[in-house]
Structure 1
Amino acid sequence: MNTLKVLLIAPNIDGTDVGEAFVAFKWAEALAELVDLTVLSFERPGRESLAQQLPAAKVVSWPEPAWARKHERLNAMLKPAWPVFSSHVRRWIKTTLAEGTTFDIAHQLMPQAARYASPLYGCGIPYVIGPLGGALETPEGFKGEMGSASWFTKLRAMDSVRFAYDPWLRRSYSNAAVVIGVAPYVRDVLGKVPLKKFAPVLELGIEELAPEVTRQTGTDTLNLLHVGRGVRTKGLRDVIRALAQLKDRPDITLTSAGAGEEIDLCRKEAEELGVADRVTFLGRIPRDEVEDLYRKADVFAFPSFREPAGGVLYEAMRWGLPIIAAQRGGPDWIVDDTCGIKLAISTPEALARDLADAIRTLADDPEQRHRLGQGSREKVAREGLWPTKAKELVNLYESLI
């Protein structure tokens, strides 16, 4: 069989970056080993060229506009240079096809947010969009605790309106051979858009399993770990409230790694609830120190209630940690009963109570902790390694042609 010719587009693909740009790079790197890959992307000045980073692929790039890089958070959220990138892509495809070059399939890998009409519509190549994520609303019971947020984050509320009425967005999604979501919930989010086909594919992967760790088997101590940005949705405040319901178990402690406006609020809450001596706030720490936390922890408690995917779950699972997560969004798909405990999301009071029950259960049952930890490791080994994920994506490509 001839090697599949794939055109991959994303506004930022960069193995030296973080977030979407890094994830896009890992997909491109893995796909380049399996297909004849052409990549279209922006590049930022002063960084290693994308052609050097992806020697197995053909790379076409354009400088990312300087004005789009002035506010990183806004750039990550809104992708203000997307129209510029789309214009580059459409012109390049038109010229390249006119010169006689063909592709079996095209794939708009990023942005992950489901709010960007694809430049691949009408290009004459079967195309794929995704994995798309985001667009999860804050549960009603938690809205009163959300606090302030940047003005542009409130634009998420417009997504459902655009899925229903934006003609450019709707037609580019409707004409895709398949729209991929980071988890099954995305199909419901896009419910007002008629899709030819939908497939759930988690956008995250891992390089390799971490070294196997022999964890404690007693019930005298339990070390909980939470890793994530310091924002309300990540659920750190709820774990602290759960600790306050376990005052008869001073042996249960929590370590938090992450920075943000929520951390000071959580520190204050821990003091008010009388559990400050059982919570360690490390703030933002280097990557190798985070890895050491995974190695030392007993349970990963991450009840994020508006989580589209959940990359830290894979990080914890590769270390063989049992998981406590929310039964919502990406975590609801990643975590099953072989590797963790999932909690329903209704109100902060109910979540704190259910967290306390789950923590007590794992604290009192080292055999269950061991079983769920082994399940985490086996699940991420089975489905999370980048070569495995790339093969599954190529199988999906082939099914569409």
Structure 2
Amino acid sequence: MAVHPVTAKKPRVLAIAEAANPEWVSVPLVGWSLAAALREVADVHIVTQIRNRDAFVRAGMVEGQDFTAIDSETFARPMWKLAEKLRMGEGKGWTMVQAINALSYPWFERLVWRQFGNAIRAGEYDVVHRITPLSPTISSSLAGKCASAGVPFVLGPLNGGVPWPKGFEAERQAEKEWLSYVRSAYKVLPGRTATLRNASAVLVGSRHTESEVPSQFRDRCIFIPENGIDPSRFNRVAQPEDGPLRAAFVGRLVPYKGADMLFQAAAPLLRDGRMQLDMIGDGPMMPELTALARSLEIEHSVTFHGWKAHEEVQDILCRSHILSFPSIREFGGGVVLEAMALGVVPLIVDYAGPGELVVPGTGLKVPCGTRSEIIEAFAAKLESLMNDPSGLPAMATAARDRVQSHFLWSQKARQVRQVYDWALNSETAQKPQFFDKT
């Protein structure tokens, strides 16, 4: 569905983004990007955590005027240190981190209400929008307080908790996701039902997250994938050279990202030089993957680049025909959007975030099955592309068009603005819908 022009007076929005930082990645970058983009369509004051203050100032924001930094470090710092110990590995145990955050975050909201409660009750804001945390497991005391004040409360985008596919228990354990076995317990925690009942609109970043919302509240859910594209960061068009099929992988080198499956699937093409593969990223699997490349006799066709700045990622991706990304558990799949924005056709596993971003004509999907089934399906797709790449240019153009029409941060801000308008006029306005179910 197209995003319609916004012409009405800008609503006054208090945007709560505890995690928001233009200099970081993942959730903080999403929080920053959406909150900053919303300033073009609404009169937005951003509330963030004190750790982000200096980055906001460096980005040109004026403290007190454009944003407020809340110092919740009394609880946040020791709880973060505890989470780092319990996760037992950098970048692992994400469910544990979210569980600890669920314990420390309420203090942040309490401080927000202490500072802004009187203004909210006085009607100085038309909408209160909690952008981050993204996790649907973390409830909000602000929702009920805003409802009592007669101010619409918008929640999200919420995303997370996509189930681990069957047959990938080894990967689940390697990620130290032991707490994920009891994650669904959050549904009975105090505050969850009240948060959903008092929210005027709930932005869901995945269909799975929407499915976890109780049916009585689902009518206020609006599907908007969490990730977006900043055209100043991804502003080129891929121009792969003639010759072998060029593919790229971007991401942490950890088991669930599936780089080892990609090596096995692409081995025949890589071995005889019909394909070249750029590996962008680093992680604990690097030694294993370099050894696997040697054992498969494909090391001459694989380049390990390690971590790269986004400008360099762009340079490497723009030499590629495809993003070959067999990850089996992505909540958002931002790298898929980044490739599409450059006109690099994604080849992905049809599951969770990537499966929802890639619609027919904009990329290629294989079913989410067992390891052997994914390897076999990827191998068949790669062989087919090598033999007949004629369909790639049209898909590349469609992928770029899809990003331009739906996934630029400016477009996403306009989508959210329509949600604000609906929340403010829900009795007369039509509920917005931006993405068809695929």
Q: TM-score with structure 1 length normalisation?
A: 0.90
Residues 36, 286 of structure 1: alpha-carbon distance in 2 compared, 3 angstrom cutoff = closer
Q: CA deviation at 1:197?
A: 1.4
Deviation string, structure 1 residues 353-375 (Cα, Å, up to 9, x no partner): 00011111211222211111111
- Cα distance between partner residues in 2 of 1:122 and 1:392: 25
Letter in 2 for 1:155: L
Residues 2, 291 of structure 1: alpha-carbon distance in 2 compared, 3 angstrom cutoff = closer
Residues 55, 33 of structure 1: alpha-carbon distance in 2 compared, 3 angstrom cutoff = farther
Q: Is the 8 A contact 2:174 2:255 kept in 1?
A: no
In the alignment, what sits opposite 1:206?
229
Q: Is the 8 A contact 1:29 1:54 kept in 2?
A: no
1:128-167 map, 5 Å: 128-150=154-176, 153-163=177-187, 165-167=188-190
Deviation string, structure 1 residues 198-250 (Cα, Å, up to 9, x no partner): 1111222222252334333x5x4111100001111112111111013547753
In the alignment, what sits opposite 1:352?
375
1:297 maps onto 2:305 in alignment: no
Q: Is the 8 A contact 1:130 1:179 kept in 2?
A: yes
Q: 1:61 aligns with which of 41, 63, 69?
A: 69
In the alignment, what sits opposite 1:2?
9
In the alignment, what sits opposite 1:215?
240
1:115 maps onto 2:137 in alignment: yes
Deviation string, structure 1 residues 165-219 (Cα, Å, up to 9, x no partner): 2231222123312221212222123357744411111222222252334333x5x
- Cα distance between partner residues in 1 of 2:250 and 2:23: 22
In the alignment, what sits opposite 2:364?
341
Deviates more, 1:292-301 or 1:20-29: 20-29
1:17 maps onto 2:24 in alignment: yes
Deviates more, 1:65-74 or 1:82-91: 65-74
Letter in 2 for 1:299: I
Q: Is the 8 A contact 2:17 2:48 kept in 1?
A: yes
Q: Is the 8 A contact 2:158 2:209 kept in 1?
A: yes
Q: CA deviation at 1:275?
A: 2.5
- Cα distance between partner residues in 1 of 2:235 and 2:305: 22
Q: 1:307 aligns with which of 330, 336, 341?
A: 330
What SS does the aligned partner of 2:285 have?
Answer: helix
Letter in 1 for 2:29: F
What SS does the aligned partner of 2:306 have?
Answer: coil
In the alignment, what sits opposite 1:257?
280
Q: Is the 8 A contact 2:205 2:332 kept in 1?
A: yes
Give ranges in structure 1 of 5+ residues lacking alignment.
none
- Cα distance between partner residues in 2 of 1:365 and 1:373: 15
1:322 maps onto 2:345 in alignment: yes
Letter in 2 for 1:162: Y
Residues 287, 275 of structure 1: alpha-carbon distance in 2 compared, 3 angstrom cutoff = same
Letter in 1 for 2:68: V
Q: Is the 8 A contact 2:240 2:246 kept in 1?
A: no
* Residue-pair matches, total: 395
Identity of aligned residues (%): 24
- Cα distance between partner residues in 1 of 2:387 and 2:213: 42
Q: Is the 8 A contact 2:238 2:317 kept in 1?
A: no
- Cα distance between partner residues in 1 of 2:277 and 2:323: 10
Residues 103, 266 of structure 1: alpha-carbon distance in 2 compared, 3 angstrom cutoff = same
- Cα distance between partner residues in 2 of 1:260 and 1:52: 30
